[in-house]
A and B are shown apart, each in its own frame.
Chain A
Amino acid sequence: KNEVEQSPQNLTAQEGEFITINCSYSVGISALHWLQQHPGGGIVSLFMLSSGKKKHGRLIATINIQEKHSSLHITASHPRDSAVYICAYLGNKLTFGGGTRVLVKP
């Protein structure tokens, strides 16, 4: 069993729809990373959070440390949000989930 599980693996949405990606992990952690990988391969760090909720533009990340679960929400999705979203828990090194491939259609 992977230490970090993401769902769904693939997601297709229409422009404007609300998107939720889930991440569950099996070990106690101090912080969780949400990353965005663009079609060209480049990776951008979206959030690092250890409790509660963070918001940046149309992106919202939440985490429940006790339940070992985090979610990434995209509000009013847009085709430029199409990417692979990866959660990873953070210690001395990152342990990654398998990623969620998001396609937002116009």
Chain B
Amino acid sequence: SQTIHQWPATLVQPVGSPLSLECTVEGTSNPNLYWYRQAAGRGLQLLFYSVGIGQISSEVPQNLSASRPQDRQFILSSKKLLLSDSGFYLCAWNPGQNQPQHFGDGTRLSIL
């Protein structure tokens, strides 16, 4: 069966520090991968999605970047975190367009 792993579960980082959040999927190949953010008191927002290795689409301009170095690995990064990067980050996958998405457990990121 397919599973999605996201870590860490919580993270506290100072302003200006780098960030790396990792997401991996097991039990499938060539999944579509997604990074979402939910800022405090706001709805879910799609940040990046990827339909294949090295293929990244960015939905909103921001301080973050994403990479897909392997088929089932999706990484969210920042060189210098801002206070506004605080939030709850969710990774998700689906086998293709118009298929249900499956979510990771999320990472709660607090910037101090």
* A/B pair count, beta carbons within 8 Å: 52
Q: In this complex, what residue of B is CB-closest to A99? A: B43
Residues of B within 8 A of A44 (CB): 103
A-B contact pairs, 14 of them (CB 8 A): A30-B98, A33-B100, A41-B38, A41-B88, A41-B105, A43-B90, A43-B92, A86-B43, A92-B97, A93-B49, A94-B34, A94-B44, A96-B45, A97-B43
Besides A30-B98, A45-B101, A88-B44, 17 new A-B residue pairs in contact (Cβ under 8 A), listed by A number: A33-B101, A41-B88, A41-B106, A41-B108, A42-B103, A43-B90, A43-B92, A43-B103, A44-B103, A45-B102, A92-B51, A93-B49, A94-B34, A94-B44, A96-B43, A96-B45, A98-B43
Residues of B within 8 A of A13 (CB): none
Within the complex, which residue of B38, B88, B101 is in contact with A94, where a contact is CB–CB below 8 Å? B101
Is B82 in the interface zone, CB < 8 Å from A?
A: no
| Best-surrounded residue of A43, A86, A90 (most CB of chain B within 10 A) | A43
Is B46 in the interface zone, CB < 8 Å from A?
A: yes
Within the complex, which residue of A41, A45, A91, A97 is in contact with B100, where a contact is CB–CB below 8 Å? A45
Is A60 in the interface zone, CB < 8 Å from B?
A: no
**Which range holds the interface residue count of chain B?**
20 to 34
A17 to B13, CA, bound (A): 43
Interface residues of A (CB under 8 A from B): 30-31, 33, 35, 41-45, 48, 86, 88, 90-94, 96-99
Is the CB–CB distance between B105 and A42 below 8 Å? Answer: yes
Residues of B within 8 A of A43 (CB): 90, 92, 103, 106
In the complex with contacts A43-B103, A44-B103, A93-B46 CB distance below 8 A = yes
